[in-house]
Every structure is written in structure tokens, then in C-alpha cells.
Structure 1
Amino acid sequence: MLDVAVLGATGSIGTSALDVIARHPQRLRATVLAAGQNVEALVALCVRHRPRHAVIADPQRFADLRDGLRGAGLDTLPHAGDAALDELVGSDACRAVVAAIVGAAGLSSTLAAARAGKRILLANKESLVLAGELLMQAAHDAGATIVPVDSEHNAIFQCLPDAAAHAGLARIILTASGGPFRGRRREELHDVTPEQAAAHPKWSMGPKISVDSATLMNKGLEVIEAHHLFGVEAERIDVLVHPQSLVHSFVEFVDGSTLAQLGLPDMRTALSVGFAWPERIASGVAGLDLLAQGGRLEFEAPDLEAFPCLGLAFEALRSGGTAPAVLNAANETAVSAFLQGRIGFLAIPALVEQALAALPSSSAGSLDALRDADAQARRFVERAAHAHAL
């Protein structure tokens, strides 16, 4: 029996993870469920899945969580705050961790899981963008297994099963749906609303990730993530827009062979791989019928003029050091301002670019240095956002 902690349990990835877990009651068990502020949704999940522990990130909601669990007649133990979550994921309360807390807030618990040698189903790409070298070193030192849950990196993971495959790797090609504004010119994006940006054509995701997909920053973060996960430099990572979202990525080898992983756009496939690899278990996702999907697979180059965030991510990766942390924090802050209606869509890449120029890269040798760069970038964008206010 694999005991699993699901961090970000009330989000789309957490919901998908719990769906897969529920399909395998003899093999998988959710023992820790964690959420940010939504006590009611967390208690409802506890009623269904009966974990041993429930964690709410906001300490001020502890009493609400405790009372909600009692009111539901559950013996699930309530906890609150980041320190409690870090302690749980590092303990024998779980052997696997679904790291699906959105943004830099997920870094601490992901690092705690890595240092404890857990199997990590990594959906929190910001942990790698912000502190990739530290996270990968911690995982290596403790013997942790990281299985990426992003569909693109999960595809690469499946295509590179061993060291021999890595030795023959020529390049990685990440695919992107293109988001809701694929094909639009830059001048057509001035009046985009948060609702339009969050309406992804293929994937069901939270608002922040959906906006990142619309700007192509999501793909930029995935480029940095791929660098850390697979040890591939920027020059050997490419991106292709693939609107069908059926080919999740390609791996090209030195002998001219190219492997791809295909499947319907459903996170449960990647999660089932994470839970059982190298075995395969049912995920609830149907097989791929290419004829039923239209029988066509289309690819095109990304438009970096209309969607400059992808180019900014490559720039940050090449700069190294604290530049990816600045990129991530600046983007999180700008996206939040956009979702609040304070700035326009095109202000997001503009603010990220300004932050990268204003905060030159420095050494990323410690978590404190990375957190300082993160904080500086957030402060910078909050101040600079006034110049872009609607």
C-alpha cells in the first residue's frame, strides 16, 4: 500500500490525483490532504477519502478545520501552517507526495519531501524554476524519486527510462497548445480580459496556470524545469506549438530517432505514471483514437513577438543564478495584478522584462539568496505595476 500526501488537494491536479487514488483502493491510499484556505472543500475531501491528516495553509483557519472535521464525525487530525505541512511530508505519514501547491508557496514542502527521500509527483514547476539545483541535489542526496506530472515532462520521463537513453539524447522538444490566443497578433491582445485568458482550449487548470498558458510563460517555466529534470542545456531544448495537445513532447536522439508520447489531455495519465512507475495502472483516461480526434497533428513555431514570455524564460535560464527566481516571482506578481483587473494582459511580459533588467542575476547557492531574489522581484513588480495600471 502506497500512502500518499496530496498537497493542493482542492485544486485541479489534486482532484485528478484523488480520482486515480480512489480507483486503486488496494494499492493507493490518501493519508495527508493539504489545501490553502478552502476549509469547506478540504473537509468535504476528508469525508470522502478519510485521510489521517488534514492541513490548511492559513493558520487562522485551524479552528475552522478542526471544528469541520469534528462536525463530520472524522478522526482525521487537523494541522495548520507551512511548518506543520513540512513536518508531515517528511514523516512516515506518507511515502509519496503529490506536490501540486501553485507558485513559490509549494517550494518548502517539496524540498522537505525531497530531503526525506520520498517519491515526489512534481506538479509544482515553480519549485524547480526557483530552486532547481537545490531541489535536484536534495533529491539525489536522499535517494528521492521525482516523477514530473506536467504532461510534457512526464512524456519526456517516459521516453528516457534509463541512463543509456540519456546518453544518446540530442534534444528535447516541448509541445505547447498555444493557449486561447494562438494566432493573434500582439496588437490584438491589448484588451484581453482575465476571463478570456483563463479559458484554456484544451486543459482544465486553475486561473494562474491558465494565464501562464495564455502568455506562454507556462511553457517558459517548463523549459527551465526540463533543464533541471533532465540535465539538458537551453540550446538543446526547443518548443513547438501543437494545438491538438495530443503529442505531449518529443525526444530526439543522436541516431536520428525521435520518440513521442501521445495521449488525451488529461492529467490523470501522468499521475498514474507517477504513482506506479515503472508499472502501468488504470487512470480512468480512455485510449487515443486519432481518427476520432480529427486524424491530424499540426505543429508551428511559437510567436515570440506576440508572446515574449517564452523568450524571457530562455533568457533567464541562460543567465542562471537568481534570474529564474526573479522571472518566476515577477510573473506571479504580474499575473496576480492582471487577475485582479489592475493591469492589462500585455503588462505581464513588460513587467517581467523590467524586473529581469533591474535585478541582475547573482549566485543562487542558498535558499536564503533565492528567497531574497524572489522578494525583491515581487516588491519591484508591485511598485512598477502602478505605471501600467488600467
Structure 2
Amino acid sequence: MSMVDVQPTAPSGMTMAPPPRKRIIPGWATFALGIVAVVGVLATTSYLTGEPALTSSSTMQNTVTLGLPILLCGLGGIWAERSGMINIGLEGMMILGTWGAAWAGVLGLGPYGSVLFGAVFGALGGLLHAIATVSFGVNHIVSGVAINLLGAGVAKYLSTLIFAPLSDNPRDSPPIERFDTFSAPGLGDWLGELESEQRAVISDVAGLLRGLVTRVSPMLIIGILLVFVTYLVLWHTRFGLRLRSCGENPVAAESLGVNVYLHKYVAVVASGALAGIGGAALVLGSSPSIYSEGQTANRGFIGLAAMIFGNWRPGGTLAGAGLFGYADGLRLSSGPETVHSLLYAAVICAGLLVIWQLFRRKWTTAALAAVGAVAVYVLYYATDELPTQFLPYTPHIITLVVLALAAQRLRPPAADGMPYRRGEGD
């Protein structure tokens, strides 16, 4: 028998896992191609519909401001769920972060103090969630719902107790100091000139880039750094490997000497801290910079959606946060007509999906995508603008649509949400 005829066999009663598929295109290249595709779709839609706000610098600035809290909550979700802990309490932890950030501002600690206090208050919510779920075995969903209710209640009580005498309003805090912004000297003006010329593609790219290099807040730099820190720690350190092993098979991890409880605690507390920083970003990014009751507007849940869209990885979560932040930013920087043009963008995306599925010979999926494209185009052609009552829910609807389309390629951690007690493998 020749060497090529020898096939590896597994011991009796065991099945061998298939070898991991090697990526044809590196992850960074896929991310870059995705950005190019998104810019191309937006530029094409802007040109065909005559809506320059789709790629304006003001829309991009709003996207960054509104997408950053979503990104930070999504990163918090990655930390928790990679360790096997479902954390739907991110919304409550984010609320605690908004209050903590405002309190630090009232104490005169400055914007960096607001970020620190936001992280501490969010981490306290994460610690409570860890105690309930890891130590006492409370169902993750039940504990998360309780954290959301508790976070809103505690913030409301503390606001009435501390902020009401200062602002004469129990629902809001006094204005606090925010970060000074900076712009790239010369580059912003040059990009602004290109944007004002309204040249196809060139002005669209210039507008999007100008939104990224003008009025930049240090909060954005902190958020991007936390994306890289999350990636490096969870995927390129021993600690990260052990933490992720707790989310895949905690019994096996324990048998190899990993302190599963400790790693889960660290992950959930870090998750709460990141959500709290997201709350601080929301406070510091508002105008004026204040804590306001109901300020998070379910962004903690949208952060979870961004995490799922990103397949529990930082780069994908960044893309998801950008998508949802863009939907919200476009609503604020333009009118109903511009948001209505997103239907045309959806038609283009569906058309590209049809071509891709035909290339892969997925005839059924291609047919369904074609039907969807026709239906959306009919809706776009039959209406001039979306009802104003519909606009506040644009990000939520886009969240549902994107998750429905991305559901088939998702792969959560194997033991995500599963109960675990120490010594189960003995």
C-alpha cells in the first residue's frame, strides 16, 4: 500500500473532527473589500437617487458618534460570550455607565474621569451579573433582565438624589465637560472642497473621509484601541486562549488546569466595564453633554446585535456597529427622503447577492434574493418618502433584517449560555 492510500482513522467509538478550512482571503483583506463594497453601493445610490447626504461628512460624523457606544457594548458582549456567558444585561450596565460618567463630570474630574467612572459603574453591574450566574448558577437570561431593570432603577434613584438639586430636573444631570475635538490640518479643507464639487464617487469618498478626520474626539481613539486590545488579548495571549476555551468546553478546560470561574468572572466584569465606557461615550458625545433618563435607547441590545452580526469577533463587530450607527446618523443628518433612498441601496445589495448566489450555483437563494429585490424596488418606486413615525426605528429594523440575512453563517461559542458547575468533569 502506498503512502497516499493511508487514511487516518479514529479510535473505536470516536469520530475525527474535519480539518479546519484554510482562508483563501485573509481576514483583513475581506474587511477591506467589504469597506470598498459598502462605499461603492452608497456612492452608486447617492448618484442615482440624487441624495448627497448618503455620503456627506456630517452623516459620517454622526455615524461615528452614534456607532461608538454600540461598538463598545458589542466588544463587551464578545468578552462575556467568548467565555460562555450570555450577557443581555449590557443595556443596564450601559445605563450605569452613563450615570457614572455624568457624576464624574459633576465632581469636576474631566472627560477622562468620566470614562473611568463609566467603566467602574459598568463593571459593578458586570460583577453582580457574574456573582449571580457563575457563583449561584442563576439563568443567564434571567440575571441579564434583572440587571437591565436594576440598572435603570438605580440610575433613576441616584439621579433624583444627586442631580435633581443641581439641575432642578430629576431626569437630567447638569452639563459636564466634554473632550476637545481635533481635525487633520489641511486635509479636512481639501476633502471639503472635493465634497462640495459633487463629482461622482470622488466627492462621495471625500465626504466619508472628511467625516473621519474632522472634529475627531479622543473617545474615538479609545474605542479603536479597545478593538485592537480585545483582539490581541483574546486571540494572541495565553489568557485569551484559556478564556475562549471556557466558552467552548469548560469541562475540558478545567481538566487542563484552567480556573474556569476566575476566567468567567474576569470576562463578565470586563464586559460590564466596556458597556460602561459605551455609556460614557454616549454622554460625552451628546450635545450638551449630560446624563438623561432613557438616553441609551436600547443601544445595549443593538450592541449585542452588532456582536452577533460580527460572528463574535472584534472586526465584524466594528462593521456591525458602523452599519447600525450609519442608519441612526443618516436619520439625524437628513430628512425622510434620504432615509427612503436606503431602499434603493437595499435593491442594489440584493442584486449583488443574486449575482453571487448564481456564481455559487445556489439557485433557490438567488431566486429568493431576486424576489426580495423586486419587492423592495416596487416599494421604493411607489413611495416618495418614509413616514416620519418610521424614522426613529430605522436602526432597529435594519438590525432585524441584517441578523436574519446573516443567521446562516453564524457560529457562536459551543458552550455559550450553558450552565457550568465546578467539578462537573470529575
TM-score by length of 1: 0.24
Asked which structure has the greater RCO (Cα within 8 Å, sep 6+), the reply is 2
Larger relative strand fraction: 1
TM-score by length of 2: 0.22
Select the structure of larger CA radius of gyration. 2
